[in-house]
Amino acid sequence: MTILFFISLGVILYTYFGYPVLLMAWKLVAGKPVAKQDILPTVSVLVSVHNEEPHIERRIENLLEADYPRDRMEILIGCDGCTDGTVRIVERLAETLAIRFRVSPERIGKPAMLNGLAREAGGKIFVFADARQRFAPAAIRELVRCFGDERVGCVSGELVIEERGSGAGRGVGLYWKYEVWLRKMESGIGSMLGATGAIYALRREFFRDAPADVLLDDVYTPMNAIMAGKRSVLEPAARAFDTASASVEKEFNRKVRTLVGNFQIFSLFRSAFNPFRSSIAWQLFSHKLLRLTLSYFLVLFFILSAFLAGRGLPYLLSLVAQVLFYGAACAGFVLERFHAKLRGVFRAVYVPYEFCVLNAAAVVALYRYLSGGMDVKWRK
């Protein structure tokens, strides 16, 4: 029982602390900076949308404001089974603006729509964007500069989360900042895992049609470049902006979908776990696989701490610390239900609440994956 206690503690500490420390050390000793160049290849911006009437016009206007030569950039919009006014708005804009679009009367899903747009695109670099977020004016130019390094196959921009809504939503923002920091460290030693779906770019020669049911095109697409021997890097200067989920429940649903998608990626890229064939095997195991199993180690650690609490002060302290942590999470749960708006240090209770929600999402995701997965067609 004591051995299991320390194994579970070791896994928890390695996942959240040991792995980041090793990343920092590796980056410091053997970091791989990107050799950026001011190049201007042709660019195709691909946007798949479904019922985005409130956002689509602003999205197109935002892309047209990009600090990139208009004669070197094309915008392709894919309308996927829209039942609102999205198609009408796109058709109207296409009459006067240099955009192209395709319409699927039936809902085919984002991967299938992106596959179709890619076949029509003429750019040497594909830039992928969503409808809701907005790009900083220099975002596309900053993405493209990284392709001046021939070792780079995929570049992700940085999604800046602008906090709003409940304090729990702020907890989501804090988790995202931690995640972005990890990606920066991974990018600095070679390749990060996947990309930010709201803003990333790819050399067109590494684009492969995604399976119609793949949930994470922003992981599947970069993985093809990585497995071909190229780097997938993060460029913080290429920024997109979004708001945090209005509640943890919405973030929970999004996270379950993401984690089911990770199980798909594991199945599609099994060789990526082989350190003799993959440059990201360590990152994939530490950042992705362990995260998906951590929920079970957390439960095991709590149970063992309770059983061993009478055998010594270290075990008792670990139990007390966990009770306080999960108590704070319960407080965050209750306060969010009452839409409480805490200030200052008291908002910290939303961090353990968010932590617990995300680990619960991993359990639900495994069940969903084993019971048949999820519908690729995102429902808002």
pLDDT for residue 274: 95
Residue owning tokens 């460290």: 185
User: What's the CA gap between 118 and 104, in Å, rounded?
Assistant: 15
The 10s digit of each residue's pLDDT in 195-240 is 999 999 999 999 999 998 999 999 999 999 999 999 999 999 999 9
Using a pLDDT cut of 70, give the percent of the chain over it.
Answer: 92
pLDDT for residue 1: 84
Of the candidates 19, 218, 27, 13, the residue with the CA atom closest to the CA atom of residue 114: 218
Lowest mean pLDDT among 91-95, 125-129, 249-253, 344-348: 344-348
The 10s digit of each residue's pLDDT in 336-373 is 777 656 555 456 777 888 889 889 999 999 999 999 87
pLDDT beyond 60 at 164? no
Of the candidates 184, 47, 61, the residue with the CA atom closest to the CA atom of residue 118: 47
pLDDT for residue 227: 95
Q: Which residue has the higher pLDDT, 248 or 292?
A: 292
pLDDT for residue 347: 65
Quick check: 154 and 232 in contact, CB under 8 A? Answer: yes
User: What's the CA gap between 321 and 323, in Å, rounded?
Assistant: 6
For range 6-22, the mean pLDDT: 95
pLDDT for residue 333: 84
Residue owning tokens 């750019």: 123
Q: In what order do the strands lie in the sheet with 231-243?
A: 99-104, 73-80, 43-49, 125-129, 199-203, 152-162, 231-243, 134-135
Q: How many residues belong to the chain?
A: 380
One DSSP character per residue, 125-182 reads: EEEEE-SS-EE-TTHHHHHHHGGGSTTEEEEEEEEEEEP-SSHHHHHHHHHHHHHHHH
pLDDT for residue 18: 96
- Cβ within 8 Å of residue 367, ≥6 positions away: none
pLDDT for residue 337: 74
pLDDT for residue 168: 52
Half-sphere exposure of 224 (CA within 13 A, CB side): 16
DSSP state of 16: I
User: What's the CA gap between 310 and 313, in Å, rounded?
Assistant: 8
What is the chain's mean pLDDT, rounded?
90
DSSP state of 14: I
The 10s digit of each residue's pLDDT in 283-315 is 999 999 999 999 999 999 999 999 999 898 999
pLDDT for residue 379: 65
In sign, the C-alpha dihedral spanning 345, 12, 190, 369 is: negative
pLDDT for residue 262: 95
pLDDT for residue 191: 95
pLDDT for residue 29: 93
Quick check: 15 and 23 in contact, CB under 8 A? Answer: no
pLDDT for residue 331: 87
* Residue 195: exposure state from Cβ atoms within 10 A (0-12, 13-18, ≥19): buried
Residue owning tokens 């990284």: 146
pLDDT for residue 98: 84
Confidence band, pLDDT 50/70/90 cuts, at residue 252: confident
pLDDT beyond 70 at 167? no
Lowest mean pLDDT among 2-6, 250-254, 264-268: 250-254
CA dihedral 179, 132, 349, 301 (to 10 degrees): -40
One DSSP character per residue, 21-37 reads: HHHHHHHHHH-------
The 10s digit of each residue's pLDDT in 56-78 is 999 999 999 999 999 999 999 99
- Cβ within 8 Å of residue 80, ≥6 positions away: 48, 49, 50, 104, 107, 108, 109, 110, 113
pLDDT for residue 153: 97
pLDDT for residue 339: 64
pLDDT beyond 80 at 269? yes
Quick check: 299 and 23 in contact, CB under 8 A? Answer: no
For range 139-160, the mean pLDDT: 97
Q: Is 190 left (phi over 0), alpha (psi -120 to 50) or beta?
A: left
The number of beta carbons lying within 10 Å of the beta carbon of residue 375 is 12
pTM, rounded to two decimals: 0.90
